[in-house]
Structure 1
Amino acid sequence: MLKVAVVTDGPYGDRAYETIKMVFDTEYIELEKPTDMFMDELEVPEDLLKKIKESNILITYTQHPDVTLDLVDMVNKDVDYTIVAAWTGEGFKNQLERYENVTCPYIMCELEENGNPTFDEFASKIGKPKIELLLDGNKLKEVVVLRSSPCGSTAFVADYIGEKYHGKTLDSEELPVESGLKLQHYPCRAAKMRLFSDEECKKEMASGHHRDAFEEAVQFSNRRLENRELKV
Structure 2
Amino acid sequence: MKIGIVSDGQYGERAYEQIRRRFSTEWILLPFSSLLVVDDIDLTIPPCDLYISYLRHPDIAIELIKTGVPVLLGVNLGPGFIAQAKEYNPAVIGPETMCSLLPNTEFWQINEYAKVFGRPVFHVLLEGEQIVWCQPIRRSPCGSTDVAARELNKQMFDQETMNRFALSICHTCRAPRFGKTCDKEKAGIIHLEELVSSLKGINPGLWEKSTQALKKVTCTIVSACDDEAK
Superposition deviation, residue 209 in structure 1: 0.7
Superposed counterparts of 1:136-155, under 5 Å? 140-155=131-146
Specify the alignment match of 1:42 in structure 2.
Answer: 41
Tell me the distance in 2 between the aligned counterparts of 1:177 and 1:216: 16
Aligned length: 203
- Larger mean Cα displacement after TM superposition, 177-186 or 101-110: 177-186
Alpha-carbon distance in structure 1 between the residues aligned to 2:178 and 2:130: 39
Relative to structure 1, the CA distance from residue 117 to residue 187 in structure 2 (aligned partners, 3 Å threshold; closer, same or farther) is: closer
Q: Is 1:110 paired with 2:100?
A: yes
Name the SS for the 2:104 alignment partner. Answer: coil
Q: 1:86 to 1:215 in 2, by over 3 A?
A: same
What is the CA distance between 1:97 and its match in structure 2? 2.9
User: Within 2, Cα distance between the matches of 1:220 and 1:91?
Assistant: 41
* Structure 2 gap ranges (5+): 205-230
CA distance in 1, matches of 2:36, 2:178: 19
Output the amino acid matched with 2:103.
Answer: E
1:53-108, CA deviations, whole angstroms, 9 ceiling, x for partnerless residues?
Answer: 2x2211000111110011111x21xx3x2101213332112111333211112221
- The percentage of counterpart residues that share the same residue type is 30
Distance in 2 (CA, whole Å) between partners of 1:185 and 1:33 is: 26
CA-based RMSD of the aligned residues comes to: 2.4
Whole-angstrom CA distance in 1 between matches of 2:74 and 2:173: 17
Matches within 5 A, 1:33-72: 33-45=32-44, 49=45, 51=46, 53=47, 55-72=48-65
| 1:96 and 2:85 are equivalent in the alignment | yes
Quick check: 1:175–1:214 contact (8 Å CA) kept in 2?
Answer: no
Q: CA deviation at 1:175?
A: 4.4
Larger Rg: 1
TM-score for the superposition, normalised by structure 2: 0.78
- Aligned equivalents of 2:160, 2:78: Cα separation in 1: 37
TM-score w.r.t. the length of structure 1 is 0.77
For the Cα contact (< 8 Å) 2:178–2:184, is it kept in 1? no
For structure 1, the residue ranges without an aligned partner over 5 or more in a row are 224-232
In structure 2, the CA distance between the partners of 1:191 and 1:141, relative to structure 1 (3 Å rule), is same
The residue that corresponds to 2:6 in the other structure is 7
- 1:123 and 2:114 correspond: yes
Distance 1:139 1:193, change over 3 A: closer
- 1:105, 1:119 → 2: CA distance? 11
| Structure 1 residue 35: Cα displacement | 3.9
Q: Is the 2:173–2:184 contact (alpha carbons within 8 Å) kept by the matching residues of 1?
A: no
Partner-residue secondary structure (3-state), 1:131: strand
Q: Is the 2:51–2:71 Cα contact (8 Å) retained in structure 1?
A: yes
- Moved segments of 4+, more than 4 Å: 135-139
